[in-house]
């Protein structure tokens, strides 16, 4: 019964995540607490010295990515990590991998679009982190009884936006580099660059979506260079 419930949760999270994209994006979810298919030698090198938990999460994430690629007719291939720790996708593919303590989730697509996806437990943000994650303007915008929960959505949105922009810019930055405006009723958010990053100027905006599903927040951002 427990395993059946877990499978149902995974399926619902996978479906909700897929609905956050408006293009041919495939999504797959994996459970890092379950036995995983062996990862490729090129991948294993990256986590050879990591603790068992990190190795399990890494394997689940790569296996989820391969499962998602197969949905779009892709082959099983290695997805090693680069010097910057980001996944190195096969030519013609882009994607994003995320995990929390419960699930690993991967989203992939063919073509030029870049993806960013994030999953977090749908629990209020630790109050001690509020001023680190959210600017004074963001905190004022979400003031109220559910501020800590909305702050968690902002945290996840910033993670997804960062992951989407990084393959294009190669720029590392912190939470204060983006300003997030969330629209809870529509499940959408906007990420505005406060400072430049690569080809993005201060004031440029990325559009994103989020969903609350099975006790989790899932956020997604797509950047299509052809439309920017």
Q: Which of 14, 15, 50, 10 is nearest to 33 (CA)?
A: 10
Each domain of the chain, given as residue ranges in start order, spans 2-112, 118-223
What strands, in cross-sheet order, belong to the sheet with 93-99? Answer: 25-30, 104-110, 93-99
C-alpha span between 85 and 108 (Å, rounded): 17
Contact 104, 60 (CB under 8 A): yes
The pLDDT tens digits along the chain (228 residues) read 445 557 889 999 999 999 999 878 999 999 999 988 899 999 999 999 999 999 999 999 999 999 999 999 999 999 999 888 899 999 999 999 999 989 999 999 998 899 999 999 999 999 999 999 999 999 999 999 999 999 999 999 999 999 999 999 999 999 999 999 999 899 999 999 999 999 999 999 999 999 999 999 999 999 987 655
User: How is domain 118-223 classified at the CATH fold level?
Assistant: Ribosomal Protein L22; Chain A (3.90.470)
Q: What are phi and psi of 197, to 5 degrees?
A: -150, 105
Q: Quote the pLDDT of residue 1.
A: 45
Q: Do domains 2-112 and 118-223 have the same CATH topology?
A: yes
Contact status, residue 43 vs residue 81, Cβ threshold 8 Å: yes
- Residue 185 DSSP class: T
Contact between 119 and 13 under an 8 Å Cβ cutoff? The reply is yes
Contact present, 191 and 221 (Cβ < 8 Å):
yes
Length of the chain equals 228
Backbone angles phi, psi at 172, to 5 degrees: -90, 135
Beta pairing class for 114-121 and 25-30: unpaired
Architecture (CATH level 2) of domain 2-112: Alpha-Beta Complex (3.90)
Answer yes or no: are the C-beta atoms of 174 and 159 closer than 8 Å.
no
């Amino acid at each position: 019964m427990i395993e059946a419930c877990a499978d149902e949760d995974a399926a619902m999270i996978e479906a909700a995540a897929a609905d956050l994209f408006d293009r041919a994006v495939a999504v797959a979810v994996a459970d890092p607490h379950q036995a995983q298919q062996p990862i490729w030698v090129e991948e294993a090198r990256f986590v050879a010295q990591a603790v068992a938990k990190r190795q399990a999460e890494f394997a689940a994430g790569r296996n989820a990515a391969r499962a998602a690629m197969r949905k779009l007719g892709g082959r099983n291939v290695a997805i090693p990590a680069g010097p910057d720790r980001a996944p190195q996708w096969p030519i013609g593919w882009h994607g994003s991998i995320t995990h929390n303590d419960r699930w690993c989730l991967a989203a992939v697509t063919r073509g030029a679009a870049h993806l960013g996806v994030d999953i977090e437990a749908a629990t209020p943000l630790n109050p001690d982190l509020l001023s680190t994650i959210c600017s004074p303007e963001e905190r004022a915008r979400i003031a109220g009884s559910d501020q800590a929960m909305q702050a968690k959505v902002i945290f996840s949105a910033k993670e997804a936006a960062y992951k989407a922009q990084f393959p294009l810019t190669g720029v590392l930055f912190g939470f204060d580099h983006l300003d997030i405006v969330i629209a809870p009723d529509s499940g959408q958010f906007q990420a505005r660059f406060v400072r430049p990053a690569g080809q993005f100027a201060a004031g440029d905006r990325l559009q994103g979506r989020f969903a609350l599903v099975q006790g989790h927040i899932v956020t997604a951002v797509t950047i299509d260079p052809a439309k920017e």
